[in-house]
Amino acid sequence: IVLIHETISFEVWLAAQMGGNAAAAYNESLNLQFRGAFDVELFRAAAQQVIQRHPILLAKISPDGQWQEFRLGTQVNAPLIDLGSYSEPESGRQLAAVLEQEASELFDLVSGPLIRMKIVRMSDDHHVVVWTAHHIICDGWSAGLLVSELAAIYSGLRQDLQPALETPIPFSEYA
């Protein structure tokens, strides 16, 4: 366990305490479309590497909002939702429901984790990855960097190569 006594965004923490729409407004949810061959297990491995590179993604926030805690080595679940047997209109509706749920499901800042992933199989050659993080650990700019790393690591794993990525800036320095 690593404890970081850093100031977090009080406004974001306070909004999370309010619950409801105020808290859900701080969900940063992306959906990544994959067309063609997709290896679920390699993607999960790539996502886990990204998470291990950025331990803040494993953070929990103290009940009073004064400190962060994260456990290195924690695995983040990325369940597979198979919509391949549905008709195209129904699979689209089911996907929309998954996206809505991810955008509105509240995070428990105290219990964590503050990141979620779901892999939705639309068909053999179409997958959608839903990546949702709480804004207290990830903003739009950070999400872009994480997606770039995820793409590089996943591509590298598919080619049996380890990409050369820059050492990430620790959140404590960034904050």
Question: What is residue 154's three-state secondary structure?
Answer: helix
Region class of 77: left (phi > 0), else alpha (psi between -120 and 50), else beta: beta
pLDDT of residue 111: 87
pLDDT of residue 4: 44
pLDDT of residue 1: 46
Query: Which pLDDT tens digits describe the chain residue by residue (175 residues)?
Result: 444 444 456 666 666 776 677 777 888 899 999 999 999 999 999 999 999 898 888 888 888 877 788 777 778 899 999 999 999 999 999 999 999 999 999 998 888 889 999 999 999 999 999 999 988 888 888 888 999 999 999 999 999 988 888 777 665 555 5
pLDDT of residue 63: 84
pLDDT of residue 3: 44
Is the dihedral angle over the CA atoms 22, 27, 28, 33 positive or is it negative? negative
* Residues contacting 167, CB < 8 A, separation 6+: none
pLDDT of residue 22: 72
pLDDT of residue 10: 62
